[in-house]
Structure 1
Amino acid sequence: MSIACLGITVLDRVQRVSELPTTGGKFVANDYFEIGGGPVATASVAVAKLGKKVDFIGRVGGDSVASTMLTELSDYGVNVDKVVHIKQATSAFSAVLVDDHGERMIINYQDKTLSRDIEALKSIDFSVYSTILCDVRWPEGAKYALQQAKKYSIPSVLDADLSPDSIDELVQLADHVAFSEPGLAKLTQTDDPIAGLKIAQQKTKGMVYVTVGASGCYWLENNEVNHQQGKVVEVIDTTGAGDVFHGAFAVAVSEGMETRQAVIFSNTVAALKCTKLGGRAGIPSRHTVEEDINSSSAK
């Protein structure tokens, strides 16, 4: 069975700089490249590289940016047949700065004419999926997909990152809500991830998690706080690390992994990605991930 990844796809226009700017001014990049981005679009590539069939379901405009993004996804083995094409709109794109420490700054543009209507989703049979992963960038679409997951008793994962829209309904619907630190802080109005998880748990019957960069992941299970340290690696580029974590986590959920095992698996995939340049090119294969996990556990 396939995994469904519903949300935004973006063309990232990436420039490498020595340090991220802290003031206005002119700066010189030492490298430039274009690559597809967007939370679940990149997650879908992770799913494919980890050996699972995956459908990306998102919205694109009628422009060359759309063609570039969909061709790249297809080349990675992601099925794009269910993408919604809105001919009069401009596809989403981002300006991305990545410094020599692997940290990044992202400025995203999304055309307001990129319709958020869900009518096209009603022709998709969501009952065929083993897991449904959604981001928060198309909230109407995510709500519909998560409702379909409930209808067909399919496990669902929400990438609960920052959004200009309320994500309360999505948090309530999802079986697994994996927050970024900023996403959790915005929802719960606290910068303390542990306190935030406890507040978030009151908003859903699903499980809640928060990724905290190199510090790994915290989650609540049986009302207890659990933690799994992140894998220590030499960081080259953190772009897409959270997205890759969510793609790997959707794979783990689809396979019924025990929670800590699922987090270790997802942490490892995301960490290994950070050792390579680019949000997608560095995503490891399933074989590489399993070799690394087995090697670490043997120590």
Structure 2
Amino acid sequence: MKGLFVGLVTLDLIYLAQSPPRNNQKIVAADYTVTAGGPATNAAVTFSHLGNQSELLGVVGSHPMTQLIRGDLEKYQVEIIDLDPATTNPPPVSSIIVTQASGERAVISINAVKTQANSQAIPPDILQNVDIVLIDGHQMTVGIEIAQTAKANNIPVVIDGGSWKPGFDKLLPFVDYAICSANFHPPNCQTQEQVFTYLSEFGIPHIAITHGEQPIKYLIQETGTTGFVNVSKTTAVDTLGAGDIFHGAFCHYVLRENFLDALASAAKIAAFSCQFFGTRRWMRSLAKG
């Protein structure tokens, strides 16, 4: 199966430490790793690892630091389709500190704020032979265009709703699966029920809201069915990227299973990934399949 992942491409510098530093404090990390990052990027890597073909549509450019991004994604057989190959600007860099005792993370990043592409940069045959599209909202103009074309061609569209971003309201009419975090707050939505109502008004057939290790709440529009999918309990070493990995695994499973089974299968993968430091090491212990 072939997936197109649209959105943020960063360089992630990830440190494992006893705690984040306080003001004017220097700390020594116990471990560190450098990878490509971003919600769409980590989802694409996961989708590829599970035995599929992944294409990543985002801004990378030609700054020397992008060699680290390209090298990492080449290792995981993710094809980069660069929306702005000529730019010499440095890629967005995320610095992440993972707390050893709890697996919680602290992140500082500028995301894709300075690397927005326009829809003219989209290659003409981008959706050829694509089975599923995931959009993380960090390249919103491009994402809306891709989603609209995918909808017209009956290609399922998944959104990673990590947080609300301006323009999502123009994207949502073309979405088949809205998989959001508890931090996803559309305008005037304070409660989970209000979020479900808001998304339902766009006619999205399948909606789910994740809560970390808590059960996933879902709504299937056609039948009006709501309920919860349990999440495997695990001792977290690192929760960084678990949501991204969940989305990549969901794209894999939803092409093979029904919506609820795909949520449950993806949750197992994400929980497993939390047992390992960084966003890649879990793959060494999980056979493809």
Which amino acid letter does the alignment assign opposite residue 126 of structure 1?
L
Alignment of 1:48-197 (within 5 A): 48-80=48-80, 82-84=81-83, 85-100=85-100, 101-110=102-111, 113-183=114-184, 185-187=185-187, 189-190=189-190, 192-197=191-196
Question: CA offset at residue 187 of structure 1?
Answer: 4.5
Q: Residue 219 of structure 2 aligns with which residue?
A: 220
Which amino acid letter does the alignment assign opposite residue 48 of structure 1?
S
Q: Residue 199 of structure 2 aligns with which residue?
A: 200
Aligned Cα root-mean-square deviation (Å): 2.1
The two structures have a TM-score, normalised by structure 1, of: 0.88
Q: How many pairs align?
A: 284
Q: Residue 239 of structure 1 aligns with which residue?
A: 240
For the residues of structure 2 that align with 1:123 and 1:94, how far apart are their CA atoms? 31
**Percent identical residues:** 22
Contact 2:96/2:107, CA 8 A, preserved across alignment: yes
Question: CA offset at residue 145 of structure 1?
Answer: 1.2
Question: CA offset at residue 124 of structure 1?
Answer: 3.1
Which amino acid letter does the alignment assign opposite residue 162 of structure 2?
D
Q: Residue 5 of structure 1 aligns with which residue?
A: 5
SS of the aligned residue for 1:60 comes to coil
For the residues of structure 2 that align with 1:282 and 1:239, how far apart are their CA atoms? 12
For the residues of structure 1 that align with 2:91 and 2:163, how far apart are their CA atoms? 20
Question: CA offset at residue 111 of structure 1?
Answer: 6.7
Question: CA offset at residue 216 of structure 1?
Answer: 3.1
Question: CA offset at residue 8 of structure 1?
Answer: 1.0
Report the more deviating stretch, 33-42 or 202-211: 202-211
Change in Cα spacing, 1:57 to 1:285, as seen in structure 2 (3 Å) is: farther
Question: CA offset at residue 173 of structure 1?
Answer: 1.7
Q: Residue 294 of structure 1 aligns with which residue?
A: none
SS of the aligned residue for 2:79 comes to coil
1:79-112 Cα deviation digits (max 9, x unpaired): 22x2231423221111111101111111112475
Change in Cα spacing, 1:270 to 1:188, as seen in structure 2 (3 Å) is: farther
- Give structure 2 stretches of 5+ with no counterpart: none
Change in Cα spacing, 1:223 to 1:283, as seen in structure 2 (3 Å) is: farther
Which amino acid letter does the alignment assign opposite residue 273 of structure 2?
K
Q: Residue 250 of structure 2 aligns with which residue?
A: 249
Contact 1:200/1:208, CA 8 A, preserved across alignment: yes
- Give structure 1 stretches of 5+ with no counterpart: 291-299
